[in-house]
Structure 1
Amino acid sequence: MSHLSDAAGAMAAVVRTITADQLAEPTPCAKYDVRALLNHLLFWGPSLAGAGRKEVVAPLAAAESDVDLTTGDWRADLLELLDRMASAWAPRSAWEGVTGFGEPREMPAAVIGDMITGELAVHGWDLAVATGQLLDLPAPLVAHLWESMAAPAAQGREMGLFGPEVTVPADAPTLDRVLGLTGRDPAWTPVHAM
């Protein structure tokens, strides 16, 4: 169950070095620049941590756009949320039974845990490439991402969670294939967004 913790740790390493002048940079996730992606993570973080404890926790604000990075210490807040997510999902019991994250509908906890792991890893990559960093994901985590995301990718696209699949070679690195499943071009750079 350490994959979620590894994904949170990898994202935290990226978040620690994002500078204020990078907040307006585009990301590979077309609907978010760096600021909006950080808002998204801060908005959903409490609910995702709550899901690991089988608790319904209200999001940080009424809407993602209401999260204001100009007040408070957004970096410390996000790092603390990542730590809370990892801690909430650390016990084996977090992955058992059912849970939810702000909706009345519940799902198997293991499915939600894997969704959160993918969210942290893929958005961690988004932030890393948008800010000129490398995301350090352990090989077992990357293999787990492929195993947990390949089958439900079409459903993720239908739900609007993923963009259209980007074709990557079958022999491409596993992370590149995961990124392609989620609608990201593994070769993306900020130049592509101009």
Structure 2
Amino acid sequence: MGPVELLSGADARLVGLVSTLTASDLDLSSPCAGWAVRSLLSHTISSIDAFAAAVDGGSGPTEAELFSGADILGSDPLAVAEQSIGRSQRAWATIGDWQHPVTTVLGSMPAAEAISIITYSTLIHSWDLAVAVGRTVEFDDAEAALAEGVGAALVPALQPQGLFGPGVELGGDASPTQRVIAFAGRNPL
């Protein structure tokens, strides 16, 4: 499975989840300390926009806006999510050279690394959002493999900034999804 297909799957999961959210769900606490569903979903969509902007050259949120959790959902979170994801999918579909550098909020990197990071972010935050509203998420083998690889580099680099908590210890019978989530500082049990 290629990078665009992996991102498309993560995006589809996010849209599926958002399509079921109620207004009261948006006020629930998420596994990310200090972030309600509304603020975490706003951050997730802002992240998608930021990485799309890195590819298509359009406008995107600043780093401060990205991590503020400011409400960008308005009265129709699904429409906002679908618009952002549509832009993202169109942008990533234009990449012919995955080693071509793009400049993201995390710095300049090859397009292949950037799409892997936004896929990881979308996967992890979809899990966070699902758990917040009492649902479960299991990553498929390709998603878990991507998340393990990206997380191994990204989580330690961003932990000093408080963007990930310390890893959670699990037993040997943990699923691939549980291992990925625990490494990202969430308790998957």
Per-residue Cα deviation, 1:61-100 (whole angstroms, up to 9, x for no partner): x73454354x442221112212322332234526322112
Q: Which amino acid aligns with 2:140?
A: P
Structure 1 spans left out of the alignment, 5+ residues = 188-194
Please tell me the root mean square deviation across aligned C-alpha atoms, in Å: 2.5
Instruction: Give matches, 1:87-166, under 5 Å.
Output: 87-93=90-96, 95-102=98-105, 105-135=107-137, 137-166=139-168
Aligned to 2:71: 67
- Counterpart CA distance in 1 for 2:127 and 2:49 is 21
Per-residue Cα deviation, 1:87-146 (whole angstroms, up to 9, x for no partner): 32234526322112357x312222221111110000000111111223353321112211
- Counterpart CA distance in 2 for 1:4 and 1:95 is 14
SS at match of 2:32: coil
Report how many residues are paired: 184
SS at match of 1:9: helix
**Percentage identity across aligned positions?**
32
From 20, 33, 38, the counterpart of 2:36: 33
Counterpart contact for 2:40–2:69, Cα < 8 Å: no
- Counterpart CA distance in 2 for 1:117 and 1:58 is 17
From 178, 181, 189, the counterpart of 1:179: 181
Q: Which amino acid aligns with 1:135?
A: V
Cα 1:48–1:148 change in 2 (3 A) is same
TM-score (norm 1): 0.82
Q: Which amino acid aligns with 2:155?
A: A
Q: Which amino acid aligns with 1:86?
A: Q
Cα 1:135–1:12 change in 2 (3 A) is farther
- Counterpart CA distance in 2 for 1:165 and 1:31 is 18
TM-score (norm 2): 0.84
- Counterpart CA distance in 2 for 1:94 and 1:73 is 35
Q: Which amino acid aligns with 2:109?
A: M
Counterpart contact for 1:43–1:67, Cα < 8 Å: no
Cα 1:113–1:68 change in 2 (3 A) is closer
Per-residue Cα deviation, 1:138-189 (whole angstroms, up to 9, x for no partner): 32111221123224432231243311111122441111111111100002xx
Cα 1:38–1:94 change in 2 (3 A) is farther
Aligned to 2:27: 24
- Counterpart CA distance in 2 for 1:126 and 1:89 is 24
